[in-house]
């Protein structure tokens, strides 16, 4: 398993105050227009005129029906677009370019290999473009962990319900990773326990911000019942505390992919789960 958490920057997919949703959607549309978020091959018209973006109550996450579809989607995370972002820190900032480099390396090394027959695959979509991928594997018995520590942290629980096996997100899209994490929690029913094997100390620190706790040197586990980062919404589903909606984009009328170009924002956001 190759779990990974990285930062994600600039385009917020969620995290809104309790304000009018259409105002928020208009703010999104204007922000994306200013950052030149447009369809590939467009004539340069303002996206704010058509308002293709909106806030929705259900995140636009799709499940791939087969492994090959996921692997094909993962290839886009180390294509020329991502490499351009990685190679141009003067345009995107050192932080974003470094993140793009990590995204490309992760997608290339693990996006097309090392999954089991029981893996499930998901994508966070903005229109026709994937901006975040999740590969989810099954859970493990508590005997796979430090059993003494496990019993202290999760008394009465026999093991994790699933594993965050792989996540990759577009380096310009903020919060796609933790929205995918939220989606995984919701699929696990009333008492989820998610396992993550962080790749480094930085990844471990970011996972802790989402409520993961260390079980042993290699594993962290999230129990949303014991974390102040998660609440249940009115439908009884797990939701990140403080969120109000999810960014969505209308499907492109001619099937073209959405292009996500440079942002002039100086904001470096590292708390996304990815």
Domain boundaries, the chain: 17-54, 56-236
CA distance 207 to 6: 9
Q: Which residue has the tokens 């259409």?
A: 22
Instruction: Take residue 27 and report the two structure tokens written for it.
Output: 């703010």
Chain mean position to CA 213: 19
CA distance 274 to 272: 6
Walk along the chain (274 residues) and give the pLDDT tens digit of each residue: 444 444 433 344 443 333 344 444 454 444 444 433 434 444 444 444 455 778 888 899 999 999 999 999 999 999 999 999 999 999 999 999 998 998 999 899 889 877 888 999 999 999 899 999 999 999 999 999 999 999 999 999 999 999 999 989 999 987 888 899 999 999 998 899 999 988 777 678 889 999 999 999 999 999 999 999 999 998 899 998 888 788 888 775 444 455 554 443 333 345 455 5
Instruction: Take residue 123 and report the two structure tokens written for it.
Output: 């994508």
CA torsion sign for 137, 141, 142, 145 is negative
Instruction: Pick the closest to residue 163 from 121, 187, 194 (CA basis).
Output: 194
Chain mean position to CA 70: 15
Q: What is the pTM of this model?
A: 0.78
Q: Which fold has domain 56-236?
A: Aminopeptidase (3.40.630)
CA torsion sign for 25, 28, 33, 36 is negative
Q: Are 173 and 131 in contact (CB under 8 A)?
A: yes
């Amino acid at each position: 398993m190759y779990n990974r958490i990285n930062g994600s920057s600039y385009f917020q997919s969620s995290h809104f105050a309790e304000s009018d949703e259409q105002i928020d959607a208009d703010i999104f549309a204007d922000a994306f227009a200013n950052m030149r978020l447009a369809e590939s091959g467009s004539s340069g018209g303002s996206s704010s005129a058509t308002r293709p973006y909106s806030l929705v109550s259900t995140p636009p996450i799709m499940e791939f029906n087969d492994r090959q579809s996921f692997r094909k989607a993962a290839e886009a995370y180390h294509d020329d677009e991502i490499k351009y972002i990685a190679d141009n820190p003067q345009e995107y900032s050192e932080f974003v370019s470094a993140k793009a480099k990590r995204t490309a390396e992760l997608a290339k090394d693990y996006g097309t290999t090392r999954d089991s027959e029981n893996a499930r695959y998901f994508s966070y979509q903005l229109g026709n473009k994937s901006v975040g991928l999740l590969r989810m594997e099954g859970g493990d018995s508590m005997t796979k962990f430090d059993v003494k520590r496990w019993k202290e942290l999760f008394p009465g629980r026999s093991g994790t319900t699933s594993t965050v096996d792989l996540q990759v997100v577009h380096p310009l899209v903020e919060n796609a990773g933790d929205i995918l994490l939220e989606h995984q929690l919701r699929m696990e029913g009333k008492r989820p326990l998610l396992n993550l094997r962080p790749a480094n100390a930085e990844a471990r620190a970011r996972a802790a911000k989402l409520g993961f706790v260390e079980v042993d040197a290699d594993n962290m586990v999230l129990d949303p019942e014991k974390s102040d980062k998660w609440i249940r919404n009115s439908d009884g589903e797990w939701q990140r505390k403080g969120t109000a909606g999810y960014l969505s984009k209308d499907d492109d009328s001619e099937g073209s992919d959405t292009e996500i170009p440079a942002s002039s924002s100086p904001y470096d956001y590292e708390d996304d789960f990815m």
